[in-house]
């Protein structure tokens, strides 16, 4: 049975309408990890030209983070850091950061949000752009964390011969992160 609210305009909604929407939203949120998985799988058919597809790149980035002893938040961030590529190629990092922001500490969100700029250090000068754009954040407390994320995991993850863990290996971590209460103060700080 399809349950629907009674209003045509939100201002006309009743307490019962909004209780129903809260219930349906909770049910919908339970499926978030599977929608993230589907979004990651779409990266396998995205942008061409690299020696590996974007899904493999994301899996390699997460594999490297895990091998380095990163915590679960950074591993999942490494996995989803390029999820915005398909729909927002010029601000994909902000899209990925918005996706993970309610579930992780601010440092992790900042790394994901800034990784596009920091990653340009490796290629911008080849296309006539400034490779040092990240320097405007030099004094930021998470500058080195983002620089390390890019140096050790992101920019290094285009290797077709790298032993890469499959998506199924990381899905329990994705489920754990995205099952957290959004903006739970145990996981999410208030400062950035």
Tens digits of pLDDT across the chain (192 residues): 689 999 999 999 999 999 999 999 999 999 999 999 999 999 999 888 999 999 999 999 999 999 999 999 999 999 999 999 988 989 999 999 999 999 999 999 999 999 999 999 999 999 999 999 999 999 999 999 999 999 999 999 999 999 999 999 999 999 999 999 888 887 776 554
| 131-145 residues labelled b (16+ CB within 10 A) or e (exposed) | eeebeebeeeebbeb
2 occurs within a structural domain: no
Supply the CATH number for residue 39's domain.
Answer: 1.10.3210.10
Query: Using an 8 Å Cβ cutoff, are 134 and 28 in contact?
Result: no
105 occurs within a structural domain: yes
Instruction: Provide the 8-state DSSP code for 10.
Output: G
The predicted pLDDT at position 189 comes to 65
Q: Which domain holds residue 52?
A: 14-178
How far is C-alpha 76 from the chain's CA centre?
A: 7
User: Angle, nearest 10°, between helix axes 92-100 and 72-80?
Assistant: 140
Q: Tell me how crowded residue 33 is: count the other CB atoms within 10 A of its CB.
A: 18
Task: Count structural domains, the chain.
Answer: 1
77 occurs within a structural domain: yes
The predicted pLDDT at position 191 comes to 55
The predicted pLDDT at position 190 comes to 55
The predicted pLDDT at position 185 comes to 81
Instruction: Provide the 8-state DSSP code for 161.
Output: T
189 occurs within a structural domain: no
6 occurs within a structural domain: no
The predicted pLDDT at position 155 comes to 98
The predicted pLDDT at position 183 comes to 85
Cα-Cα-Cα-Cα torsion 37, 52, 78, 93, nearest 10 degrees, comes to -90
183 to 17, 92, 103, 106: CA distances (angstroms): 25, 22, 6, 10
Question: Which residues lie closer than 8 Å to 119 by C-beta, 6 or more apart?
Answer: 150, 154, 155
The predicted pLDDT at position 57 comes to 97
The predicted pLDDT at position 188 comes to 75
The predicted pLDDT at position 152 comes to 98
192 occurs within a structural domain: no
The predicted pLDDT at position 91 comes to 94
The predicted pLDDT at position 2 comes to 83
9 occurs within a structural domain: no
184 occurs within a structural domain: no
CA distance 109 to 156: 21
């Amino acid at each position: 049975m399809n349950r629907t609210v009674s209003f045509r305009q939100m201002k006309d909604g009743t307490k019962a309408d909004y209780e129903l929407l809260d219930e349906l939203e909770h049910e919908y949120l339970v499926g978030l990890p599977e929608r993230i998985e589907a979004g990651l799988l779409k990266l396998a058919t995205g942008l061409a030209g690299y020696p590996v597809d974007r899904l493999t790149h994301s899996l390699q980035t997460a594999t490297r983070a895990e091998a380095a002893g990163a915590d679960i938040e950074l591993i999942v961030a490494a996995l989803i850091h390029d999820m915005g590529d398909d729909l927002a190629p010029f601000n994909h990092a902000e899209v990925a950061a918005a996706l993970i922001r309610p579930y992780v500490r601010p440092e992790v969100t900042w790394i994901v949000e800034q990784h596009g700029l920091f990653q340009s250090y490796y290629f911008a000068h080849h296309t006539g752009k400034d490779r040092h754009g990240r320097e405007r954040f030099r004094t930021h407390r998470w500058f080195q964390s983002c620089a390390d994320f890019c140096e050790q995991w992101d920019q290094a993850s285009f290797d077709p011969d790298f032993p890469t863990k499959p998506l199924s290996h990381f899905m329990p971590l994705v489920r754990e992160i995205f099952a957290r209460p959004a903006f739970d103060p145990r996981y999410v700080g208030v400062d950035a």
